């Protein structure tokens, strides 16, 4: 066993080693995917959310057919604790979108500071924030995915005007720290240098504009508007992959409304209102590689008629953009950054793009904010109205996986006068995972990691435990057990891609560490063992003392089938009083197909040892009632002398269902290291089900306790 464990400890994640004999039947329970449509609804009267409604107050129609409401939840941000787990459809999500093509660089710098103030002071701790930019040459670029980590948002705002070395995070939830690898587009230094660095991104239309006459320059401007509207249409279709309403905070000076209405037209009126995704490596949100991008495109030169009366084609492009935004449940809150000012500056009236910003906002149900550096105060009404969301769910009778769009209608029974409902106007049927573009797959994964509740068709279990190190940050092994048959469902021939994401979020939503690993399994070699048992992955996190939510996502990279698990974790300070880690249940060798993360950071000794022999702990131990099993207890600061162990067994609801005999058999202590106790646990006769073992150690140094889940399976 010792030799095999060392091999398992050394195996690289890219090649699955330690394939072993078939395991005994696993205790995972199978699940089935059911298409469920979630409809977030906000009910407002006199600018305030209407509270106290129930499922009986709502009616939902899919097309013309009334649907039975199968799920209902009121998500009230004013009452929910900051650390509460909320359904993704009920969370507030803000995309900060900076328009570098139609904005002055100095205005962009001021907008960045206004956005920072809004995020840090105006938004709730659990709100998710992403950041993107738009330029004529690059189109929309994702800088940061939707995250609750305010430090990452702050770093992303700082990155505007920087070419930053990318972090090793494909979900784009973590920014790379500033370092020697960063390069400013222009020289370091003053605020003017910041503005100049952004200016380098703004000048995207190219040198062809130089010397153009008025008529030709107008053509270039119209082509730039076309490029923007087509890119935003693609952005909307990509954002549709994220459940829930997206508030798009569009920081721009807008474009000249006469490009749409013509010089003979009046101010633009609100209008009513196309592929998806892009290259994840570049962060592009533009779904089309052939969108018009300025001079030299196929856009015709405008004649005097178009200049006088506007471009019908441009108006249609804007209408299509607004329709795509509405379908994706995106509400644009337009911020006219031409009115923002630095300290000591006088407000400058800016009107050339105001009409277009107003139309875009109104066309999606949003508002226009102007002449305000304090966005948290200016948007206070919007933030209040969106603080309560009713999430209605229904299951359509037939949902063909064709990506077709279905219109929705929500009505409020006996609605009092003055009540206004805001809800998604429709939904897209699921599409085959293979048909999604890379950015849609990214958003699907990141939204689950950041906001999803435990779910998925692939059964899995997770074990995470902190071990003290000299660095001050605990070494936290993370063991993930994945049901093999479920992982193989719908497998492609040849290699099976498996994606593993692990993120540790503290109580404030900040990501303290993360782990991402891609595995390529050669099914010709490992399928028999994988099918008869499952995959066991060994990774780790480095975490300071604190309370965490460890969120793990395992995804079949070919089919999109996934497993999301959320495990609470407390990392103690290890400096005062006795500490007992969760009880570990050693399992027989050769039970799993083993893989380990690609080595990163300082290497540490293998943490799971008993009687000087390594073992693999079970993440979801399956026990037989009344049968004694080995148990490993690891503690710190336990003092000298004898230790007494006491076991209690709790049901899933927390009620005590009996005592479990825990006996300490041997104790190993190493200078500066933990105390390792070889023990035995004998559960009483229990019916099949899920339980928790609570162990308390008592000794001269005091008492310490910890818990671990286990199951009693039928037939064991």
Three-state helix/strand/coil letters over 450-506: HHCCCECCCCEEEEECCECCCCCCEEEEEEEEEEHHHHHCCCCCCEEEEEEEEEEEE
Q: Residue 403's closest CA among 290, 291, 327?
A: 327
- Confidence class for position 135, pLDDT limits 50, 70, 90: confident
According to CATH, where is 3.40.50.410 located in the chain?
93-175+186-374
Residue 567: phi and psi, rounded to 5, are: -120, 125
Q: What pLDDT does 423 receive?
A: 93
What interhelical angle do 105-117 and 150-158 show, nearest 10? 170
The per-residue pLDDT for range 40-55, each reduced to its tens digit, is: 999 999 999 999 999 9
pLDDT at position 138 over 90: no
Give the span between the Cα atoms of 659 and 189, in whole angstroms: 67
- Strand positions, DSSP E, 507-561: 511-522, 534-543, 546-556
Q: Which tokens belong to 128?
A: 């998710």
Average pLDDT, the chain: 81
The model's pTM: 0.83
Give the homologous superfamily in CATH for domain 93-175+186-374: von Willebrand factor, type A domain (3.40.50.410)
Instruction: Tell me the chain's radius of gyration from C-alpha atoms.
Output: 29
pLDDT at position 466 over 90: yes
Task: Tell me which H or E stretch contains 388.
Answer: strand 388-394
Task: Tell me which H or E stretch contains 666.
Answer: strand 656-669
The per-residue pLDDT for range 201-224, each reduced to its tens digit, is: 444 333 333 333 344 477 778 888
Does CATH number 2.60.40.10 belong to domain 2-31+456-712? yes
According to CATH, where is 2.60.40.10 located in the chain?
2-31+456-712
- Confidence class for position 262, pLDDT limits 50, 70, 90: low
Q: Which tokens belong to 297?
A: 């495109």
Alpha helices (H) along 92-149: 105-117
pLDDT at position 465 over 80: yes
Q: What pLDDT does 199 receive?
A: 52
The per-residue pLDDT for range 665-709, each reduced to its tens digit, is: 999 887 778 999 999 999 888 999 999 999 999 998 899 999 999
């Amino acid at each position: 066993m010792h030799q095999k464990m060392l091999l398992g400890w050394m195996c690289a994640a890219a090649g699955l080693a330690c394939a072993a004999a078939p395991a005994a039947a696993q205790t995972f329970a199978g699940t089935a995917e059911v298409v469920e449509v979630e409809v977030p609804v906000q009910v407002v009267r006199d600018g305030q959310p209407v509270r106290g409604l129930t499922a009986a107050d709502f009616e939902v129609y899919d097309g013309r057919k009334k649907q039975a409401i199968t799920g209902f939840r009121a998500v009230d941000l004013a009452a929910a604790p900051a650390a509460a787990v909320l359904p993704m459809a009920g969370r507030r999500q803000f995309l900060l979108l900076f328009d570098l093509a139609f904005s002055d660089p100095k205005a962009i710098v001021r907008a960045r500071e206004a956005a920072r103030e809004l995020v840090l002071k105006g938004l709730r701790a659990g709100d998710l924030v992403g950041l993107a930019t738009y330029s004529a040459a690059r189109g929309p670029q994702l800088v940061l995915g939707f995250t609750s980590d305010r430090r990452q948002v702050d770093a992303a705002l700082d990155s505007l005007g920087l070419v930053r070395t990318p972090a090793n995070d494909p979900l784009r939830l973590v920014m790379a720290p500033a370092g020697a690898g960063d390069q400013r587009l222009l020289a370091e230094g003053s605020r003017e240098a910041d503005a100049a660095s952004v200016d380098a991104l703004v000048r995207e239309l190219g040198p062809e504009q130089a010397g153009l006459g008025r008529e030709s320059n107008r053509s270039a401007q119209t082509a730039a508007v076309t490029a923007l509207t087509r890119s935003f249409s693609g952005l909307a279709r990509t954002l549709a992959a994220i459940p829930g309403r997206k508030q798009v905070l569009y920081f721009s000076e807008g474009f000249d409304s006469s490009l749409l209405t013509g010089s003979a037209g009046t101010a633009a009126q609100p209008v009513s209102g196309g592929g998806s995704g892009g290259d994840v490596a570049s962060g592009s949100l533009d779904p089309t590689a052939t969108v018009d991008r300025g001079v030299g495109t196929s856009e015709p030169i405008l004649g005097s008629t178009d200049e006088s009366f506007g471009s019908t084609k441009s108006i249609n492009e804007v209408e299509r953009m607004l329709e795509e935004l509405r379908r994706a449940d995106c509400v644009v809150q337009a911020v006219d950054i031409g009115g923002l000012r630095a300290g000591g500056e006088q407000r400058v009236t800016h009107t050339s793009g105001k009409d277009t910003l107003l139309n875009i906002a109104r066309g999606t149900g949003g508002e226009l904010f102007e002449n305000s550096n304090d966005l948290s105060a200016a948007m206070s009404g919007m933030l209040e109205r969106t603080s309560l969301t009713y999430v209605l769910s229904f299951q359509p009778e037939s949902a063909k996986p064709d990506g077709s769009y279905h219109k929705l209608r929500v009505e409020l029974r006996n609605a009092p006068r003055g009540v206004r409902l805001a809800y998604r106007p429709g939904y897209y049927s699921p599409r085959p995972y293979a048909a999604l573009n890379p950015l849609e797959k990214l958003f699907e994964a990141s939204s689950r990691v950041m906001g999803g509740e435990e779910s998925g068709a692939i059964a899995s279990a997770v074990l995470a435990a902190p071990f003290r190190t000299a660095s001050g940050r605990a070494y936290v092994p993370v063991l993930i057990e994945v049901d093999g048959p479920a992982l193989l469902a719908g497998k492609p021939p040849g290699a099976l891609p498996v994606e593993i994401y692990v993120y540790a979020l503290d109580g404030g939503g900040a990501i303290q560490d993360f782990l991402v690993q891609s595995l390529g399994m050669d099914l010709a070699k490992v399928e028999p063992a994988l099918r008869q048992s499952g995959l066991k992955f060994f990774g780790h996190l480095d975490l300071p003392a604190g309370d965490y939510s460890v969120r793990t996502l395992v995804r079949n990279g070919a089919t999109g089938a996934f497993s999301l698990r959320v495990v609470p974790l407390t990392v103690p300070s290890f400096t005062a009083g006795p500490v007992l880690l969760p009880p570990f249940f050693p399992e027989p060798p050769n039970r799993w197909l083993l893989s380990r993360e690609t080595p990163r950071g300082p290497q540490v000794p293998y943490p799971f040892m008993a009687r000087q022999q390594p073992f693999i702990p079970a993440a979801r131990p399956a026990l037989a009632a009344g049968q004694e099993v080995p148990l490993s207890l690891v503690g710190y600061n336990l003092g000298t002398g004898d230790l007494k162990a006491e076991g209690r067994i709790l049901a899933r609801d927390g009620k005590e269902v009996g005592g479990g005999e825990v006996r300490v058999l041997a104790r190993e202590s190493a200078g500066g290291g933990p105390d390792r106790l070889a023990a035995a646990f004998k559960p009483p006769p229990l019916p099949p089900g899920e339980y928790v073992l609570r162990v308390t150690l008592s000794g001269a140094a005091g008492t310490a306790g910890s818990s671990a889940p286990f199951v009693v399976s039928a037939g064991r």
